[in-house]
Amino acid sequence: MKTPELVASSWPHIHSGNSVQNMMLTLIIALLPAVVAAFLVFGLDTLKVVIIAMASAIFWDAVLQKLFKKSLTVYDLSAAAYGLVFAMLLPVTIPWWIIVLGTLVMMLLGKHVYGGLGCNPFNGVLIAYVALLLSYPGHMGNWPMPTSDMMMTQYPPLVELKENGPFLLEDAFPVKDLFLGTNLITGSIGEISKLALLLGGLFLIVRKKISWIIPASFLFGLTGFATIFWLIDPNTYASPIFHLLAGGSLLAAFFLATDWPTSPVTKYGMVFFGLMCGVMTMVIRSWSQWAEGAYFAVFIVSMITPYFDKIRPKVFGARFTSKRPVRL
Amino acid sequence: MGPVLTAIVTVGAMGMLASLILGVAAKVFYVYVDPRIGQVGDLLPGANCGGCGYAGCTDLAAAIVQGNAPANGCKAASPEVAANIATLLGISVEAGERQVAQIFCRGDAAHAERKFIYKGIKDCRAAQLVSGGDKACTYGCLGLGTCVEACMFNALHMGANGLPEVNTDLCTGCGNCVKICPRHIPRLIPISQMAATYCSSHDIGKVVKEICEVGCIGCGLCKKVCPEKAIELDKFLSVVDPTKCNGCGKCFEKCPTGVIQAVVLTSKSLKMAA
Amino acid sequence: MRAGRLRGGLVLSYPTNGLASPFEDVASPSTAVVPLQQDQGGACAPKVKKNDDVLVGQMIGESQNLHGASIHAPISGKVTEIIKTFQSISGQTVPAVVIESDGQAQWIDNPAESDPLVALQLAGIVDYDRQTIPLADKLEQARTRNVNSLIVNALDIEPILSSRGRLLQEQPAKIATGIDAIKKILNVTQVFITVDENAFQSVSSIQSALGGSTHILPLCNKYPQAVDYMLVKYVTHVEIPCADGVCIPDVGAVVVDVESLAAVGRKKPVVERFLTVTNSKGHVKNIRVTIGTPIRTVLDHCGITPDKGGKILAGGPMSGMAVASPDLPVTKDLVGIHVQSQREVVAPADATCIKCGLCVEVCPMRLMPFMISGFSEKGMYAEAQHYDISACIECGCCEYLCPVKIPMVQFIKFGKKQISDQRSGA
Amino acid sequence: MQEYLLMIVAAMFINNIVLIRFMGNCPVVGVTSSVDSALGMGAAVVFVTTMAGTTCWIIQKTILEVLGIEYLQTLVFILVIATLVQFVEILMQKVAPPLYRALGIFLPLITTNCMVFGVSVLNIKEEHSFMETLVFSMASAVGFAIVLLFMAGLRERMDSAGRVPKLLQGVPITLITAGMMGLSFAGLMGLD
Amino acid sequence: MSLREIIQMVLVLTIVAAVCAGGLAAVKMVTMEQIEYQQIKFIKEPALKKILTDYDNDPISDRIQLVTGKDARGRDVSTTFFLAKKGSQLVSLAFESTGSGYGGPIGVMIAIAPEDDVVQGIAVTTQSETPGLGTKIIDDPSFSAQFADKPLSANFSLSAAGGQIQAITGATVSSTGVSNAVNRGIELYQAVKPELDL
Amino acid sequence: MAARIVNEFTKGFWKEIAPLRFALGICPALAVSTKVESALGMGFAVVFVLCMSNVLVSAVRNIVPDKVRIAVFISIIATGVVIVELVMQAYFYPLFLVLGIWIPLIVVNCVVLGRAEAFARKNPVLLSLSDGLGMGLGFTLSLVVISSIREILGDGTWLGMMVLPEAYPGFGFLLRPPGAFVIFGLVLGIMNVISARLENKTA
Amino acid sequence: MSRERSELGEVVSLQGRTARVKMKRSSQCSSCSCAGLCSPFGKEWMVLTAMNDVGAAIGQKVRIRYNVEGEVKASFILYIIPMIALLIGAGVGTCIGLFNNPDFSAVVVGLSFMTISFLLIKKYAAWKYDREKTYHPMITEILSDHEK
Ligand SMILES: Cc1cc2nc3c(=O)[nH]c(=O)nc-3n(C[C@H](O)[C@H](O)[C@H](O)COP(=O)(O)O)c2cc1C
Ligand SMILES: Cc1cc2nc3c(=O)[nH]c(=O)nc-3n(C[C@H](O)[C@H](O)[C@H](O)COP(=O)(O)O)c2cc1C
Ligand SMILES: Cc1cc2nc3c(=O)[nH]c(=O)nc-3n(C[C@H](O)[C@H](O)[C@H](O)COP(=O)(O)O)c2cc1C
Ligand SMILES: Cc1cc2nc3c(=O)[nH]c(=O)nc-3n(C[C@H](O)[C@H](O)[C@H](O)CO)c2cc1C
Ligand code: SF4
Ligand code: SF4
Ligand code: SF4
Ligand code: SF4
Ligand code: FES
């Protein structure tokens, strides 16, 4: 029998070269500035948490791929990337076994039970974060003190706001320090330097890995809501600048709300999704028992993603109404 | 006795009220449903395979009761089930013979040519859309196993040579594989059929010879040699008539490509056929 | 007059020397295999028998009505065989006529035909949009709808191709004649020429030949803007739905490509094609080739040897069809040849969509490709229809960008096929 | 006013009837992934739950408590609910035949769902006033409808673009997804 | 659907419902006392344990019920008295009284030594006050300690109302509820004391 | 006959175990599976109600008109439930406090009504009893399996006894409602794996 | 684009331009785990009145199509509006506190509001939906008795 010489497949026969690996690598690179910023503040512990999170995520990913009889695809870097994002939400004091447990939950419930990357309706990072927050609130809220002597406050800005109200926030957390992550402001690894997050986020946008719409509308929704309530009652509600720069606003806007599988893909869907995340963040920060609402907000709103995606543009030609010839 | 009486009277009254409302509702929404539909439905396998041509088992049950379908309308049910249904409805069941699927192509990788190397969706129906499928023979099996996926009874599996194989023990003759195959390779035959031409090609012999070593070239030797006149040629393809063929095997020897062969059944069904 | 901008779609890089490379003639073949169906109309009835002698331009396959285009002998010589089951490039089984050349290349004199549309039909002129359609069929549809504008599609189907742009430079007179002819047939008053901005200058001679109401619309390179629907949108700013019951002439315009126009202008039966032959190493040649020539001969002429395990594409790399064998002949539905080496062959992946949304962003029809492809994969055809699978023009932009390389176009084609099968079955 | 608002938020989200109180799971698991039928069914459930909640409350206050036979609550309520749905069906047909015609399929789907009964009992157990009963029943049912709707959306997506392992398809993955939805609602804890 | 069928339906359902109800009423009567005992045991006993001292019987078994008034509809309302004995000697007597608090009624168990008419102690049994605020009436032992070992003649009103009881800061309503309950209990005790046949 | 009785009894433990096999009665399985103790209490309550309702439904199966049969069945079931409620209050009060509203909710547990409708309505008393007992115990088994996983992994205890090392910190997530859903879903998946294995072996 | 759903049924009687068609409850019921238990007297069939423009005869199997969007809208009118009326009524009743008993007052006013809403819906439905064909189920196809 003659062996066939040519290959045939359906078109297109060329490809942009874009790949999951490429997207995940970009995500990891985008987060590196934030890791460096945290490293400068908390020291080697930062690297410990980051490395344990990434390594254990890869480990669980591989184990679960074996268990679910899938081909091994850890080299697509998705586990590493999600492990890194997960590390961003943790305080550096977190014991190693909680990280390992968290990445297991993340990989199992946030990926493999749904059939792998992209099929999950919820972001595994957020699943793991909330599960741990409910199980080990003490460890998850064990905020490290950057250095012992010049300590200004023991709490991260939002916890301070929750505990003591908006008074003196401006003295304790000057805008410049909030933005740069300087001067002993504590928080989880990814909440330290807003400058680093902004750089990373813009990098993702410029490389066209995420759309600018979600972060923009997220931050717009958040600051808009914060402004309204701050104008109404500045004694109860903190300033919009504070809310924009404190806690995980930017982390959530650039790195969690834009998570590919769980965020909408249509333009208007993205706008509404982002706005709703922003508003929900403020609702949770203002009135629930939690100090930080951005992560919860993304988690909750991603439930509605399928509906946001129903706000799709009218298909080409759908507006066509009359068969009358157009005058040219 | 007071509290007991209170309870009896109150709840009894409520029961009465409830049953009155239910009664009125039953009257308002009254639809006569033949109770036998439910009974027949209970007897059917409930796999909802669709092999009978109805939307589901309940629909077939209704059709059987109304006489629109025979008692053995369910392809997936055993003859006992059909008999039970027939007794329930007091009708007779024509002893239609059990049918099983066979794969009417023997052109595996070693014997049949391919036009090109196919890359794409692992589905024969989709592969058919790429330059007409990679098999050089336009009638041959593409071997991507869409029929295997479609069989709800696990009766098909992909053989080592890249052609599907039928486990006739498990095959119920539902015909799903027949319907889904883009090249109509699986076809149903009566389980008693002794011989079959395992090819689907209507190409002329010259074309077949060029691309496949095991295709029917339509030479008609089998037709000539058959003592029972059980073989006809249909556009260069020999077709065995199961009602005439007695399995003498004369044609097997004559066939130049060996494509006309004895039907081999899996052990259990062999016994059933005997 | 300002043209609209294509929303979505791709800016693909392409070799820029295509427009500067003049057509070369590929030598006529000694044996020509001519399939008797080369367009979307029905198969033609064979008009010759084995051992008949034929002249160039002699009708060998006759279409029955305006929905087909007749087929002519591309070379003179003897009919050596009539193949009943010839597998064409698209995998269809059609009859074909094999002609052995006598080396004379002698043309036949066909009688004149008075009805212009029938003349086009008899001359076998086809128009290429996403498919090859008999030009007569297209114009007939336009004539019944009171069309007032002719849109000349001088854009190449894909940026990598350059034959239409080159034709504009080399045969402006023929094209102008063709345009004139069609203006008369349809009684249209305005002509719009959509052209690649790089081939812009060459249009001026046509414009001056045609006079007053001829507008030129230069467009930047963006795939898939050469599709009729898109061109109509640039010119009329109206989007025509890809739906039953509506067609482009409903808005008063008809789109015809320059190669058809040049053929009309030549006033002879179609026996040759103007093609761009490229490979992915930047090799570009524009050629004129006789229909029935094996692709292998064309490639030999251009100095390209296909790899084992590579691909030969009929058309460009975005929307071309993979050719099963280099021995297949050039037909009227060939607009270009692109050769890929084994290394460049992209294998689609069996992976799941990560919902990155790149496909949604790029789709020029504003569809949700990952949804319709997913629905097709799962056999959920009703849902696929609800998400307008039928509007997909199969341009492939979605799949080009997809990071997990889902074979979306194949899934979509598959879904459409299942839907139409269900329709015709039920 | 504020206490009703809090009650609504609590019943709809914080103590969501499906995700936190574990009632009405069967329809959430069983109903198809069709978003349209989730909407229709959700509306019908709101109606039936509210009607059942208020009717049971009235019967509890006017009959059971007056006669001192509260212990028969379970028996009486279940009879009342079963009958009520039939009654409502008749009523609907009389009130708006064309409308009823268009959607009669949803109503009877829900009689035996434990949520309708559970809400009725909870109203009594938590000593709600009539107004509270009304608000609580309705808000709980809306909470149910929201879960149903979100679940339908997520399942539609899983069906179209997902690859849930065969062994987890159907009920298992729906339950796990419900768990994830419940987890996200933890974010609303303390909203008062 | 014939009339006969409907009548049959009505009959069957009525009978089934009535029989079920009758059966349940019977079960209820059989278990009633035990249920009451259990409820008392698990709800009242913790409170009783807190306030009763120095006894050796089971006050829950040794309880008596007396009609102590009429409700709005004119029906009898009865109160249960738990008797704590040492040997055969009645050392104290406990019963429940209610006052209205911030979130609903507050039940208060009061123990009184009948011999010298001294309040031995009080304990809250049921309440639905705001956690962390009104619930201090339970959580803050110093609040209920104010009532212990005081003669019946003492003024158990809040200091704001001229009594001896210091209210819990921020939870005046709850405090008043408890104090009212105690006052009402003492009234009741004094009213029924003759009947108690001590 | 005896073989059938045994068969109807044993099918409830694997082949038709509810709610694992059929999505019936999910709600209580989720609600009372935090602790093994309450799972057992609930399970036994269901066993009682199932047996009683199956026996009574089977006994009256020939005299109840079709149109009111469901109303009659739920009356019978409700009676069983109230009996359980009263008895539990009288003799197992702490358990009653734990299970709370879930005792009356047995009345709408799809398993109970499902068996009445699918089995007892069509079968004689003895078979129905056997079916009810089997299904009820199977239901209990499901509950115990789920609650064991939750209690052991969530708390480190089983039936209140410490079974994991003292240092085990517990995983509180599993004890909360979302954990119930997740464990239930995963157990169903594992069941599917096991039965697929078994099927392969027999095939 | 409006979404449609189609189901199979059987004509049981004819009334002018409409036909009464018996059909299985819904394909949705097939996936319901409590299938069949929902209805206290076990109705598995329902009867719809559908426009019979294709001229189906009694006993014939037909395909019925209905508009899902109409269905969703109808369910809101029919189910949600009375509930809102009840809620408002009960709210008003509680506030005005007839007979010095807020609960009693809420019951009375609430129920009257709901009754009024039913009457209004009845008027509205008669006015609007009888005319608008899209809300009517339509027989679209007669499936011959033997096939399907
Ligand atoms: C996000 C979060 C942060 C918390 N932060 C603190 C904290 O900084 N300090 C603290 O004492 N409790 C904090 N808690 C309170 C804990 O919920 C809980 O009271 C504590 O861990 C209980 O353990 P413990 O009282 O034994 O320390 C926090 C809770 C949460 C959910
Ligand atoms: C940070 C940022 C902000 C942008 N803001 C807008 C904007 O407000 N409006 C806009 O139309 N495009 C904006 N763009 C450009 C969009 O990313 C995008 O290029 C544009 O919407 C393309 O739309 P089209 O593909 O429909 O032509 C912005 C880009 C960036 C990076
Ligand atoms: C899933 C899981 C796995 C654990 N694995 C370990 C482990 O491997 N080693 C360990 O020291 N602790 C492990 N722990 C936690 C220990 O049981 C113990 O709580 C911890 O070591 C005590 O730390 P501490 O004394 O600093 O609080 C694990 C906990 C969980 C929930
Ligand atoms: C949300 C809230 C809860 C309250 N709970 C109580 C309570 O439990 N007990 C109480 O006496 N007062 C309570 N108060 C009322 C208030 O704190 C205080 O009692 C009165 O203002 C007078 O002391 C409450 C007030 C608010 C706003
Ligand atoms: S028989 Fe048909 S469906 Fe099956 S593998 Fe062959 S071509 Fe595919
Ligand atoms: S092999 Fe074909 S006919 Fe046989 S059971 Fe499978 S699908 Fe049905
Ligand atoms: S480009 Fe690919 S991965 Fe991205 S959304 Fe589209 S199909 Fe999914
Ligand atoms: S969905 Fe169709 S039209 Fe849209 S980008 Fe893909 S192939 Fe092109
Ligand atoms: S058990 Fe709750 S709805 Fe079925």
The structural domain count of chain B equals 3
User: What pLDDT sits at residue E109?
Assistant: 92
Sequence spans of domains, chain G: 2-68+132-147, 72-128
Contact assignment for G33 to F69 by CB distance below 8 Å? no
Any G CB within 8 A of D134 CB: yes
What are the pLDDT digits (tens) for D15-59? 888 888 888 887 787 665 677 777 777 888 888 899 999 999 999
Question: Exposed (0-12), middle (13-18) or buried (19+): which is E74, by Cβ within 10 Å?
Answer: exposed
CB A49 within 8 A of CB A94: yes
- The Cα C370–Cα C376 span in angstroms is 10
* Banded model confidence at residue A99, pLDDT cuts 50, 70, 90: very high
Task: Please report which confidence band the pLDDT of residue A109 belongs to, taking 50, 70 and 90 as the band edges.
Answer: very high
- Alpha carbon of D136: minimum distance to chain A alpha carbons (Å): 21
As its CATH architecture, domain G2-68+132-147 has Beta Barrel (2.40)
Contact across the interface for D167 and F192, Cβ inside 8 Å: yes
Would you tell me which residues 119-178 of chain D have a C-beta closer than 8 angstroms to some C-beta of chain A?
150, 153-154, 156-158, 161-165, 168, 173, 176-177
Residue G25 binned pLDDT confidence (cut-offs 50, 70, 90): low
Using CA atoms, how far apart are residues A293 and A298, in angstroms rounded to an integer? 9
Residue F159: its pLDDT value, please?
A: 86
**Chain A interface test: which of D173, D188, D192 (most A C-beta within 10 Å):** D188
Q: Do chains B and D touch (3 or more CB pairs under 8 A)?
A: yes
**What's the pLDDT tens digit per position in B107-135?**
988 889 998 999 999 999 999 999 889 89
Q: How far is CA C6 from the centre of its chain?
A: 20
Beta-carbon count within 10 A of A97 CB: 12
Q: Please report the pLDDT score of residue G60 as a whole number.
A: 76
Residue F108 has a pLDDT of: 79
Are residue B63 and residue B10 in the same domain, yes or no?
no
E141 backbone dihedrals φ, ψ, rounded to 5°: -65, -25
Give the range of the structural domain holding residue D118, as residue numbers without chain letter. 19-191
pLDDT tens for A157-170 read 888 888 778 887 77
Q: Which chain F residue shows the shortest CA-CA distance from D70?
A: F82
The chain-wide mean pLDDT, for chain D, equals 83
**Helix intervals (H) in chain B:** 2-28, 35-43, 57-65, 79-89, 124-127, 146-150, 176-180, 205-211, 221-225, 250-254, 267-273
Q: Report the C-alpha gap between E136 and F92 in whole angstroms.
A: 31
- Asked if residues F113 and G37 have their Cβ atoms less than 8 Å apart, the reply is yes
Chain C segment 312-371 residues within 8 A of A by beta carbon are 312-313, 315, 317-326, 338, 340, 342, 344-348, 351-358, 360-361, 364-368, 370
Going by CA atoms, what residue is nearest to atom 7 of ligand 7?
C370
Indicate the range of C219-233, C344-358, E62-76, G2-16 predicted with least confidence. G2-16
Q: How far does chain C reach from its first CA to its final CA, in angstroms? A: 48
B115 and chain A: CB distance < 8 Å anywhere? yes
Residues of B within 8 A of F71 (CB-CB) are: 18-19, 22
Distances (CA, A) of A81 to A26, A58, C405: 9, 9, 20
Euclidean distance between CA atoms B42 and B81, whole angstroms: 10
Dump pLDDT digits (tens) for C180-225: 999 888 888 889 999 888 777 778 878 777 777 788 888 888 888 8
pLDDT, position D192 = 61
Q: Which residue in C328, C289, C262, C306 sits closest to C23, CA to CA?
A: C289
Q: What is the pLDDT of residues D62-101, one digit of tens each?
A: 888 888 888 888 889 988 888 887 777 777 767 766 666 5
Chains that touch E (3 or more CB pairs under 8 A): B, D, F
The closest ligand to the CA of B142 turns out to be 5
Q: Quick one: pLDDT at residue G70?
A: 62
D9 domain-assigned = no
B200 vs B195: CA distance, rounded Å: 15
Contact C298/C308 with Cβ under 8 angstroms?
A: no
F148: containing domain = 2-202
Report CB contact under 8 Å: C411, B203: no
F152 vs E3: which has the higher pLDDT:
F152
B160 CB within 8 Å of a chain E CB: no
Confidence of residue G45 (pLDDT cuts 50, 70, 90): low
Q: Which of D162-176, E153-167, F18-32 has the least mean pLDDT?
A: F18-32
Q: Are F20 and F191 in contact (CB under 8 A)?
A: yes
Q: How many domains does chain F have?
A: 1
Q: Is the ipTM of this structure higher than 0.85?
A: no
Q: Is the CB of A30 under 6 A from ligand 2?
A: no
Specify whether B151 is located in the same domain as B116.
yes
- Residue G148, pLDDT > 80, answer no
- Is residue C330 over pLDDT 90? yes
Whole-prediction pTM? 0.83
- Beta carbons of F187 and F145 less than 8 angstroms apart: yes
β-strand partners of C329: C294
Q: In chain G, what residues touch B55 (CB-CB under 8 Å)?
A: 8, 148
Coil, helix or strand at residue E85: strand
Residues from chain B that touch C84, judged by Cβ atoms under 8 A, are 204
Residue of F nearest to B31 (CA): F67
B145 lines ligand 5 (CB under 6 A): yes
Torsions phi, psi for C215 (to 5 deg): -110, 145
Claim to verify: residue B49 and residue B155 sit in the same structural domain: no
Distance E133 CA to ligand 4 centre (A): 7
Q: Is the pLDDT of residue A133 over 60?
A: yes
> Are the beta carbons of A323 and C250 separated by less than 8 Å?
yes
Run of H or E residues at G106: helix G102-128
How far, in Å, CA of F177 to CA of B43, rounded? Answer: 41
One-letter amino acid for residue G102 of the chain: P
Q: How confident is the model at residue F203 (pLDDT cuts 50, 70, 90)?
A: low
For the cut 80, the answer to whether the pLDDT of residue B75 exceeds it is: no
Helix ranges (DSSP H) in C250-396: 258-266, 295-302, 358-362, 369-377, 381-386
Q: Report whether F170 contacts F152 (CB < 8 A).
A: no
Is E38–F90 a contact, with Cβ atoms under 8 angstroms apart? yes
Which chain B residues contact residue G45 at CB under 8 A? 31, 33
CB distance G90 to D131 below 8 Å: yes
Residues of chain C positioned with their CB less than 8 A from the CB of D159:
378, 380
More confident residue, G6 or C115: C115
Distances in whole angstroms, Cα of residue C168 to Cα of each of C231, C261, C262: 18, 10, 9
Confidence of residue G126 (pLDDT cuts 50, 70, 90): confident
Looking at the structure, do residues B26 and B41 belong to the same domain, yes or no?
no
Residue C386 touches chain G, beta carbons under 8 Å:
yes
pLDDT digits (tens, 9 = 90+) for A199-229: 999 999 999 999 999 999 999 999 999 999 9
G5 to chain C: which residues are within 8 Å by CB? none
Distance in Å, CA G136 to ligand 4 centroid = 57
| Among the listed residues C146, C158, C175, C131, the one whose alpha carbon sits nearest the alpha carbon of residue C41 | C131
Whether B128 lines ligand 6, by a CB cut-off of 6 Å, is no
Is B94 within a domain?
no
Residue ranges per domain, chain E? 45-196
Looking at the fold, whether B173 and B200 belong to one and the same domain comes out as yes
The strand order across the sheet containing C214-219 reads C214-219, C190-196, C149-153, C253-257
Query: Would you mind telling me the total number of residues written for chain A in this entry?
Result: 328
Mean pLDDT of chain C: 88
What crossing angle do the helices spanning F2-10 and F125-155 adopt, rounded to 10°? 30
| Model pLDDT, residue F102 | 85
Could you tell me how many residues make up chain G? 148
Q: Per-residue confidence at B274, pLDDT binned at 50, 70, 90?
A: very low
Tell me the one-letter amino acid at G103. Answer: D
Question: Which range marks the domain in which residue B256 is found?
Answer: 99-273
In the prediction, which pLDDT does G131 show?
Answer: 61
Residues of chain E with pLDDT under 70: 1, 72-75, 103, 130-133, 170, 197-198
Confidence of residue G40 (pLDDT cuts 50, 70, 90): very low
| C410 closest CA partner among C338, C347, C366, C344 | C347
D109 assigned to some structural domain? yes
Query: What would the mean pLDDT of A287-313 be, rounded to a whole number?
Result: 92
pLDDT of the residue at A198: 96
Same domain? For B71 and B155 the reply is: no
Place of tokens 């509308």: A217
How many CA atoms lie within 13 Å of D84's alpha carbon, on the beta-carbon side? 24
Residue F75 backbone dihedrals phi, psi, to 5 degrees: -65, -45
Buried-exposed string A198-225: b where 16+ CB fall within 10 A, e elsewhere: bbbbebbbeeebbbbbbbbbbbbbbbeb
Residues B16 and B73 in one domain: no
Q: Specify the pLDDT at position C255.
A: 93
User: How many angstroms separate the CA of residue D166 from the nearest CA in chain C?
Assistant: 13
- Look at residue A152 in the predicted model and tell me its pLDDT: 47
Contacts of A132 in chain F (CB under 8 A): 173
Question: Average pLDDT, stretch C325-353?
Answer: 90
Among the atoms of ligand 5, which is closest to the Cα of residue B103?
Answer: 1
> Inter-chain contact F69–G36, Cβ cutoff 8 Å?
no
Reported as a pLDDT band with limits 50, 70 and 90, residue B47 is low
Taking alpha carbons only, the member of C315, A6, C324, C316 closest to residue B132 is C324
CA dihedral (C203, C204, C210, C213) in degrees, to 10, reads 100
Q: How far are the Cα atoms of B134, B141, B223 from residue B109, in angstroms, in the given order?
A: 12, 10, 28
Whole-angstrom CA distances from B78 to A281, B43, B171, B270, C401 are 61, 11, 11, 16, 52
Q: Does one domain contain both B175 and B147?
A: yes
Q: How buried is A226 (Cβ within 10 angstroms: 0-12 exposed, 13-18 middle, 19+ buried)?
A: buried
Quick one: what percent of chain C has pLDDT higher than 70?
98
Burial class (CB in 10 A: 0-12, 13-18, 19+), G139: buried
Would you say residue G140 has pLDDT above 90? no
Residues in contact with ligand 8 by the CB-under-6-Å rule are C 362-365, 367, 369, 392-398, 408-409, 412
